[in-house]
Structure 1
Amino acid sequence: MDRLRVAIRADDDPITMHGVTACLRSHPQIQLVPADQLTPSDVLIVVVDQVGRDTMTYLRAMQKSKSVRVLLLTDDFDARSILVAIEYGVVGVLPRTGTTPVQLVNAVTVANADQAILSTALQGELLRQVKRLQHKTLQPLGLGVTGLDDRELDVLRLLADGLLTDEIATKLNYSDRTVKNVVRRVIDKVHASNRTQAVAIALRAGVI
């Protein structure tokens, strides 16, 4: 089994850095690497007293250059920042005090599998923020949280049902050209290479 590659940033605190490093170094499944050697499949652990502007700036830079999965260890995280944190690659938030070595190793494993580690409170706040985003920003533009509008979703559902372009046009009272344009937009939005792949992506994501 390949070892999980992990880097640590400990807010210029050598004692904390030493403790977290010692905890992870003793685990045979984990390989510690410098942050500048991380790749998108790796995990970055950021340990800070408080998640402030400097931390967010660092996370934004790391997400832009490395696209790594980030675990935050902190006792002071503003839940209202959860959407921004996720945008910057954060997949888990754990308490700095109270997290055991076993819990930390488990969190690294979960993060490496691209799964989230969020408290119930943070999950609730995330749902509230997504709902506010949908209500205040997306709905006025005719969009859902997927970035697809109602017409695009209708066409995508009919594609999933196996209908051809002319059949979709008849059912929705569109021209063939309109349907083809909608399909092209959907393919672009979900980063697919063709309509079949677009349907598969949408089905896996639970969009349709």
Structure 2
Amino acid sequence: MAIKIMIADDHSMIREGLKSLLELEGDIQVVAEAEDGVDCLEKLKICTPDVLLLDINMPRKNGLEVLQTLKSSKSKIKVLVLTVHNEVEYLMKAVDIGVDGYILKDSESAELKKAIFSIVEGENYIQPSLIPSLNSKMIEKNRDEGKIESLTKRELEVLKLLAVGMYNKEVAEKLNISERTVKNHVSNIFKKIEVTDRTQAAVFAIRNNLIEL
């Protein structure tokens, strides 16, 4: 039985090209197409493919938002992200959400099919060329998580306020503590997260999603 695929991509030529490529050998059938994230989610209410081939850059809802919606709803549909983005941050976000596979649009057709068959069989598939960057980023993320866990609740509050640009006096007024106490907290924070100034502390907070931009 052919594997049922849905393609979600805002470029019609890419959808047509993928459909022709995937259906060449008869082991894959494209059963639906979507041109944006909202269209994709609407069509998934009446269509249940085995695999959703999902682009990241789409109007109305992007691919990561679609992925989040599907995983939050405990959907059984396997999701393979097919994207031009080789930045590891996109891959990290997709992995955090629970993507089943992730490959780049410049991949060979054989690798695309391998990814599809792998995730249908219950395996995860990340394009091999992306794995070293992912591993490096995961190590960095784990290191940061350890630093965050070392902060007290009050230090975490102070860090978040520093990251949005507050001065010590403003932090003190916001938290109803003395400016001297704030200075002590800032000194401890810098040591624990291994930074030397407020800008680096702000970058740390932003990188770890401690504040919303």
* TM-score (ref. length: structure 2): 0.52
Mapped contact 2:51–2:116 kept (Cα < 8 A)? yes
- Give the match for residue 10 of structure 1: 9
- Paired residues in the alignment total 136
In the aligned structure 2, how far is the partner of 1:9 from the partner of 1:88?
A: 18
Superposed CA RMSD in Å reads: 3.1
Give yes or no for the alignment of 1:83 onto 2:92.
yes
Choose which of 20, 24, 43 in structure 2 pairs with 1:22.
Answer: 20
- Runs of 4+ residues over 3 Å off in structure 1: 47-50, 138-142
- Which residue pairs with 1:106 in the alignment? 114
Of the candidates 30, 44, 53, which is equivalent to residue 45 of structure 1? 53
Please say if 1:95 is aligned against 2:94. Answer: no
| Inter-CA distance 125–68: structure 2 relative to 1 (3 Å threshold) | farther
The question of whether the paired residues in 2 share the 8 Å contact of 1:68 and 1:89 is answered with no
Residues 82 and 105 of structure 2 are in contact (CA less than 8 Å); yes or no, is this contact kept in structure 1? yes
The alignment partner of 1:90 has SS state of coil
Q: Shift of residue 74 of structure 1?
A: 2.0
Matching residue's letter, 1:54: N
Q: Deviations over 1:41-81 (max 9, x none)?
A: x211124568xx82221221222232532222222232123
Contact 2:57-2:63 at 8 Å conserved across structures: no
Between the aligned partners of 1:60 and 1:82, the Cα distance in structure 2 is 13
Amino acid of the structure 2 residue aligned with 1:15: M
1: CA distance, partners of 2:118 / 2:71:
19
**Structure 1, gaps ≥5 residues long:** 143-208
Q: Quick one: distance in 1 between partners of 2:91 and 2:121?
A: 20
TM-score, normalised by the number of residues in structure 1: 0.53
Q: 1:124 to 1:32 in 2, by over 3 A?
A: same
Q: Is the 8 A contact 2:9 2:15 kept in 1?
A: yes
Name the structure 1 match of 2:209: none
Alpha carbons of 1:132 and 1:14: their partners in 2 closer, same or farther (altered >3 Å)? same
Q: Answer whether contact 1:92 1:118 (CA < 8 A) is retained.
A: yes
Cα distance per residue 1:23-57 (max 9 Å; x no partner): 22333222333451236xx211124568xx82221
Gapped runs of 5+ residues in structure 2? 33-42, 151-213
